[in-house]
Chain A
Amino acid sequence: MKKTFKRFYLIPLILFTGILLLSSSAFAVYPYLPYLDYTANFNYCDGINKGADWCKASGAPANSYPFRWRLTFSSWNITGGNYVDGSQFGELSGDPITGAWFNIGYLYNNDYSNNLTFDNTQPPVESTGPVSFTITDGSNTYLSAQLNNFIITDGSFGTQLNPLFDYNKADLTNITFTPNGSQYIEELETSYLGHGYLNLSMDFTFYNGTSGGGYAFYNDANGSIEGKMAVTPEPVSSILFITGGATLAVRRFLKKKK
Chain B
Amino acid sequence: MRKVSLITIALIISIVFGIGSAFAVIGLPTANFSGNAQTTAATANDPGSLSLVNAVVSKVNYLNGSSAIANGTGESIIGKTVTIAGATRTGNETFTNAVITVSDGSFVYFSATLSNILFVTDGLKWYLNKDLDINNPATLNLTNVVLNTETAHPSQYISELQSIMGTNNTLGMKMILLLISGTLAGNSSSDIFTGLIDGTPETVNAPSEARSMGFWKTHDAERNAFINIAVSLSNLFDSANDLNFYLSMQGKKSMLEKAKQQLAALMLNVASSLSLSTQLDAGELEILQLINPAYGTGATVGDAVTEIENAILSNTHLEHAKDLGDEINNRAEHSG
Contacts and interface: CB of A to CB of B under 8 A. Distances in A.
Interface string A75-117: 1010111100010101111000000000000000000100100
Contact of B127 (A50, A80, A157): A157
Given A157-B122, A157-B130, A163-B122, 11 more contacts: A19-B12, A51-B248, A54-B65, A75-B59, A77-B59, A80-B58, A90-B56, A157-B18, A208-B221, A214-B20, A224-B32
B224 A163 contact: no
Contact of A212 (B23, B27, B65): B23
Nearest to B195: A226
A211 interface: yes
B191 A39 contact: no
B20 A213 contact: yes
Contacts of A39: 32, 34, 58-59, 69
A219 interface: yes
Interface stretch (B87-95, B162-170, B239-247, B279-287): B239-247
B36 to A, nearest CB: 5
Contacts of A68: none
A158 B220 contact: no
Contacts of B59: 39, 75, 77, 79, 224
A203 B244 contact: no
Given A30-B179, A51-B218, A157-B18, A165 B248 contact: no
B228 interface: yes
B32 A226 contact: yes
Interface string B53-70: 110101101000101010
B125 interface: yes
Interface in B99-142: 122-125, 127, 130
A52 interface: yes
Contact of B228 (A25, A48, A112, A213): A213
A4 interface: no
B26 to A, nearest CB: 5
A218 B245 CA distance: 11
A190 interface: no
5 contacts: A25-B123, A156-B19, A213-B22, A220-B220, A226-B34
Interface residues of B, number: 62
A220 B248 CA distance: 12
B23 A25 contact: no
Nearest to A81: B191
B34 A79 contact: yes
Interface of B: 12, 15-28, 30, 32, 34-36, 53-54, 56, 58-59, 61, 65, 67, 69, 79, 122-125, 127, 130, 176, 178-181, 189, 191-196, 217-218, 220-221, 224, 227-228, 239-241, 244-245, 247-248
A25 B130 CA distance: 17
A23 B217 CA distance: 39
A90 B35 CA distance: 8
B301 to A, nearest CB: 25
B191 A206 contact: no
Given A206-B24, A209-B224, A156 B241 contact: no
A164 B100 CA distance: 28
Shortest 10 CB-CB distances between A and B: which pairs? A28-B124, A213-B20, A28-B123, A77-B69, A79-B58, A79-B34, A155-B18, A226-B194, A212-B21, A156-B21
Given A52-B220, A203-B176, A207-B61, A213 B35 contact: no
Contacts of A222: 65
A25 B24 contact: no
Contacts of B248: 48-51
Nearest to B8: A12
Nearest to B251: A63
